[in-house]
A and B are shown apart, each in its own frame.
Chain A
Amino acid sequence: MSARNRLGAALAGALLLTACRQDMHDQPRYEPLEASAFFADGRSSRPQVAGTVARGELRLDAHLYAGTVNGEPATEFPFEITMDVLERGRERYDIFCSACHDYVGNGEGIVVRRGLKQPPSFHIERLRDAPPGYFFDVITRGFGAMYDLSDKVPVEDRWAIIAYVRALQLSQNATMVEVPAGMRAMLESEAGQ
C-alpha cells in the first residue's frame, strides 16, 4: 500500500469513527432521575436529609400549610376564594380526585368501579358539615385507603380543590330559588330533554 493510499484509508476511517462519538450527546452531568453509578442506591436525585427546610419553605403559617387554627381544623379558607380559584380547583379536582370521587363527588369514580374501596360521597351530612380544614388534612395526610396527595398537589391547589368540593356540595343540594334568575330557564330546558 502506498503512502497516499494509507493516508486515504486513515482519513476515511477517521470520518467513519466521528459518527460514533457520543460525548456531546451524553455529557458528564445527570438528567432528572438518571441512574448514578456514584451513589450506593443508584439514584442521582438525592432524597432530602430529614429536617431539611428549603429557602422559602419554612411553612410557619399553620392555617395555610396544615389547615389548622389554634390546633383545630380551620373553618375558614386561608385566602379569598374567587372565581379564578374555583376554576383552578375544578381543574385540579378533575385531574387528581375524579378517578375515585367521580366528577360530581359521589365517590363512584372509575377506579372505584374497578375495585378500589369506595370513598364516602361528599354529599352526606357529615361531609357537608365538615370544615375546610378537615378536607385539607385528608388531602395532606391521606385517609383510609386514600394515599396522601401532598407530593402532587401544592397547598394553594389543595385549598382550591376544597373550595370546588364546596361548590359541588352546593350543586347537589341546591333548590331552584338559589339558581340565578337568568340561568333557570336553561336548567329547566335541559331537565326537560
Chain B
Amino acid sequence: MAQIFHPSFNTLSRVSIFGAVFFLGAAVWGWDRLLRSPYNTQVNVAREQPVPFSHKHHVAGLGIDCRFCHTSVEESAFAGIPPTKTCMGCHSLVWKDAPMLEKIRESYRTDAPVEWVRVHDLPDFAYFDHSIHVSKGIGCTTCHGQVDEMPLTWRENTLNMDWCLSCHRDPEVFVRDRADVFSTEWRPDDVSAEERAELAERYHLESMTNCSVCHR
C-alpha cells in the first residue's frame, strides 16, 4: 500500500503542533478586533433616518441649543427625542413644502410618530442617567463627539464598558465647567489640569468603579 502522507507532512505536523498557540492567539485577536470594529460597535457609522435630520445644520448653522429639543436631559435619565410639534414650530413656515420633510408633516397631520432610528443604545443591564452626568460637568461632546459636525448622526464612542470605565476611573480628566456643558465650541485644552482639579473638587467628583454604580 502506498503511503498516504507525503514525507513533508512531518514538518507540517511539527509546525502545527508548536504553532497551535499562535493560531489560537491569532483567532482570539481576530475575534477581539471584530468585536471592536465599527461593524459591531457602529462607531462612525452614520445611521439612515426616515428624515435626514442634520445636527450640523441645526446646531452649527443655526446655533440652536441642545436643550431646545432634548428637553429632559437636565432632569431625567433620558435626554428626550422631540415631538413632531417641535419640528413644525419652524417647519410650518420654513421649508414648508420641502419633499424631504413630508414625513414630518404627515406625522403632524396624523399624530403618528416619526420612527427615528436609535443611534445610542446601551445594553439593558447597564443603568445610565443623563442628568447626573450633565450636572457633574460632563459635556455632551465628551461622549457624543462633535455633534455639530454631523450631517447624519453617528455614534462617536463604542459605549463599551472599558470606555465607560476610562472616565469612571478618573473623571477629573474629562470634567468641564457646568456653564460649558452644552457648548460645542469647548475643547479639552480649554481647561488646565489645575482648573480641572478645582472643578472636580467643587462638583465632588470621585472615581466610581463599583459594579453597582451601573449594574443595579
Chain A residues with CB under 8 Å of chain B are 24-27, 29, 31-33, 35, 41-43, 94-96, 99, 110-111, 114-117, 145-147, 151-152
Among B90, B115, B124, which residue has its beta carbon within 8 angstroms of that of A27?
A: B124
Interface size grouping (class) on chain B: 20 to 34
Among A32, A96, A111, A117, which residue has its beta carbon within 8 angstroms of that of B62?
A: A111
Stretch at the interface among B10-18, B78-86, B160-168: B78-86
- B60-100 contacts to A, CB under 8 A, are 62-65, 67-68, 71, 78, 80-81, 83, 85-86, 88-90, 92-95
Chain B residues with CB under 8 Å of chain A are 62-65, 67-68, 71, 78, 80-81, 83, 85-86, 88-90, 92-95, 112-113, 115, 121, 123-125
Task: Give the CA-CA distance A27 to B122 in the complex, in Å.
Answer: 12
- B92 and A95 form a contact (CB under 8 A): no
Chain A residue at minimum C-beta to C-beta distance from B63: A110
Contacts A24-B123, A35-B115 given; does A147 touch B68 at CB 8 Å: no
Contacts A33-B81, A99-B64, A151-B83 given; does A115 touch B124 at CB 8 Å: no
Q: List 15 A-B contacts (CB under 8 A).
A: A25-B125, A27-B125, A32-B78, A42-B112, A95-B65, A95-B68, A99-B64, A99-B68, A99-B90, A115-B93, A115-B94, A116-B90, A146-B89, A152-B68, A152-B71
Task: Give the CA-CA distance A32 to B76 in the complex, in Å.
Answer: 11
Task: Give the CA-CA distance A8 to B183 in the complex, in Å.
Answer: 56
- B67 and A111 form a contact (CB under 8 A): no
